[in-house]
Amino acid sequence: MKFTAEQIAGILEGEVVGNPNAEVSRLSKIEEGEEGSLTFLANPKYINYIYSTKATVTIVNDSFIPEQEITTTLIKVEDAYAAFSKLLHFYNQVKLNKNGIEPQSFMSEGTKYGENLYLGSFSYVGQNVVLGDNVKIYPNSFIGDNVTIGDNVFIFAGAKIYSETVIGNNCTIHSGTIIGADGFGFVPNEEGVYSKVPQIGNVIIEDNVDIGANTTIDRATLGSTIIRQGVKLDNQIQVAHNVEIGKNTVIAAQSGVAGSTKIGENCMIGGQVGIAGHLTIGNNVRLQAQSGVARNIKDDEVLQGTPSLGYTDFNKSYVHFKNLPKIVAEVEEIKKQIINPKNGNNG
């Protein structure tokens, strides 16, 4: 899809300096700009590239005045970085705005859906499903029975949404994610053989939630596993049965939350963090990467390590840990001096 500099300036409320009919069809970094591409200049460190870039159109701050000859057409705006971000959002909306039901997809009778539905090939929609407006379900996706999905939801290729799941508005679920699989519930008998505990709850995902690729969120044993509004989950995260994650909490990749743990609001959890089950994590908690949490955490705590310590205590302890061989050597030397004083005085 091609856009002219004049069209882009209209979207950004900017001013064209150069050829208003210059056409672009892709985006690029300023140092890698090629003919037909659009780029931007916001950081002064990159100003030299504007004189050599081959990008057809460049977004710049309206205060920019070239000191050498340039070949790129300029679009001057108040804030080049914010304008480019706005343009990325617009571009993404255009790129992802697919409509219609493609061949080889299956939708059960009685499915209710709103306007501008997109259902990609080889996708399956089960019985009693309700889909809102502007729902986009990409190829090879599975939507189980009795699922409810709100407006403006993107479900990318290969995602699996098990039965009874409830998804709110303005959510994005990336490829390979599985929502609503059975929780890890087994009970051993006297012989040590494990019997499965039926998992008959569901998963509830509230509005404005983003879920990365290959993340798994298990259904509750009873009740619901709940992801509150505004939560952002990275790729390859495991959320176990009956977990609740508070609103606007963010969790980085490869982290795991064991069953029935409650995480508060506005928490920031780094990559590869492990959180044990049946815990309560307060609001505004910060967990540094690779921390292991095995206790309840109060509001506003910042922790690191396994088992996790207060962030400041961890850093102080780590200084001593690095110096441990030296400290041991000094202790041994002190012991020798006590046992065999150099001055020969034992009393």
Strand ranges (E), 253-322: 256-257, 262-263, 268-269, 274-275, 280-281, 286-287, 292-293, 302-304, 309-310
Within 8 A by CB and 6+ apart from 40, the residues are 30, 58, 59, 60, 80, 81, 83, 84
Task: Say if residues 199 and 241 touch (Cβ distance below 8 Å).
Answer: yes
Task: Say if residues 274 and 253 touch (Cβ distance below 8 Å).
Answer: no
ω before 307 within 30° of 0 (cis)? yes
Per the document, the length of the chain is: 347
| Alpha-carbon torsion angle 231, 142, 137, 202, nearest 10 | -30
Closest CA to 246 of 280, 287, 291: 280
89 belongs to the catalytic site? no
CA atoms of 273 and 302, how far apart (whole Å): 13
CA atoms of 323 and 227, how far apart (whole Å): 43
Catalytic residue, from 89, 174, 241, 278: name it. 241
Task: Say if residues 284 and 265 touch (Cβ distance below 8 Å).
Answer: yes
Task: Say if residues 221 and 201 touch (Cβ distance below 8 Å).
Answer: yes
Closest CA to 234 of 259, 265, 210: 210
CA atoms of 289 and 298, how far apart (whole Å): 18
Residues with a known catalytic role: 241
